Structures are given as C-alpha cells and as structure tokens.
Amino acid sequence: MRNFSILLVLIMALSVGMIGCAKKSPMQNLGPAGINETVNLDESVIVFFVPANQLRLHIPIVETDEVGNLSLVTILVPGTKYLHRTTPGKHLYFLSTVRGRSEMLEANVEAGKAYYTYVSQHPDSRGSDPEYFHAFQFVPVSKITEESFREDFALCQWFKNARLTEEWFERNRPDLQKRYIEAQTRHKEAGSQKVIAPEYGTATLVQ
C-alpha cells in the first residue's frame, strides 16, 4: 500500500510537471460575457469544451497536417470552452494527457458553420488498464438541441490562449510528436476514429 501511495504521488507530480505551469494558467478567462461573435461565411468554427465535472488535468488539443506537422489549438481544463476558427474541409486533431492513450478526431466541416465536441474522460480512465489511465476522448455533438449538451456547455466559461500556452507547446513539442505518431499508428490499425460530420454544424454560435 505504501509503494502504491508513493507511485500515485509521483504520477500526480508528473501530471503537473508536463504542463509546466502549476500556478500560472496557460489560458485567459474571457469573463462572464463570453464570446459574442458570429461565424464568418468563409470559415468554419469548432468549439472544444470540457465539462466541469471531469478529472482536473490540463488537456492539450493539437492539429496535424497530412505530413505530421503539429500546431497547438489550445490547452483545456475542466469547466472551459475554446473557439477554434479554421478553414472548411477536413482537419485532423488529437489530444493527449501526460499518461494514457491519445485520441484522434477527424473533422469534416462546412463553411459558415459551427461545430461542437466534448473533451471528456474515457469510460475506462478510472480502471486498472494503464493504457487508459487519465485518458480523455473526443465526443462530437451531433445535436445541439439536446438538453444534456446545453446544460454542460452553459457551465463552461470561454477562455483564450495566453503567452504561456505557446511556450508550453514549444517545450513539449517532441513529446507530443511522439504521442501523435503512436496514436496515428494505433488508429490506422483500428481502421476508425472519431468524426465530426458536416451535418453536425449550425449557423449560429451557442453561448
């Protein structure tokens, strides 16, 4: 039992260490007013959000191109939501916490529309399988009219990236690159991944 307690403390310390800012947030709160913006007709918007009742970890969300170059989207924590503006068409994202398997997401988005996806704990994240320890997953929202989505989304606050966000990303890029390659290999072998379908989009932003 003592050895298990020591191991747990070390894991928690690593979780804090990976983000590189235990006391300073990598994001800036936009306040209760949130984001009062529209979706431009020549762009697409994806809103990533983490429900407030999730395990308290920093969760990097990264976009990759067809040759594996990485660019940081944001770093989320429970109770936050982030508006990501992008181009219409197909995009590939992945997320990875300090331990546990990474998660892939393919987005096929249309111009002038907003899309939403949960970032939530994997059902097996509290189990005994170390591969899923502290694992999170993408859960695309197909219907924004669902009451459960509206309730979870309303409890999250809008955040934007701060200077510390990019600084953290540059420090941890080699580790994230390695995690991406592992995730890409695993998902190719599985033959499937999470998908945001074009019809999931809406012309208005949910506040």
Residue 45 in domain:
yes
Per-residue pLDDT of the chain (207 residues; tens, 9 = 90+): 444 333 333 333 333 334 333 345 556 665 544 566 788 999 999 999 999 988 778 889 999 988 889 999 999 989 999 999 999 999 999 987 766 667 889 999 999 999 999 998 876 656 556 565 667 889 999 999 999 999 999 999 999 888 888 888 999 999 899 888 888 887 777 666 789 999 999 998 887
Q: Do the domain assignments include residue 19? A: yes
pLDDT of residue 165: 85
The pLDDT score that the predictor gives to residue 36 is 64
Q: What pLDDT score was predicted for residue 92?
A: 94
Predicted local confidence at residue 45, as pLDDT: 96
Task: Quick: pLDDT tens for 90-128.
Answer: 999 998 776 666 788 999 999 999 999 999 887 665 655
Strands 80-86 and 157-161: parallel
Domain assignment present for residue 206? The answer is no
**Cβ contacts of 27 within 8 Å, gap of 6 or more:** 74, 75, 76, 77, 80, 82, 159, 160, 161, 162, 165
Count: domains in the chain: 1
Domain contains 207: no
Domain that holds residue 108: 2-200
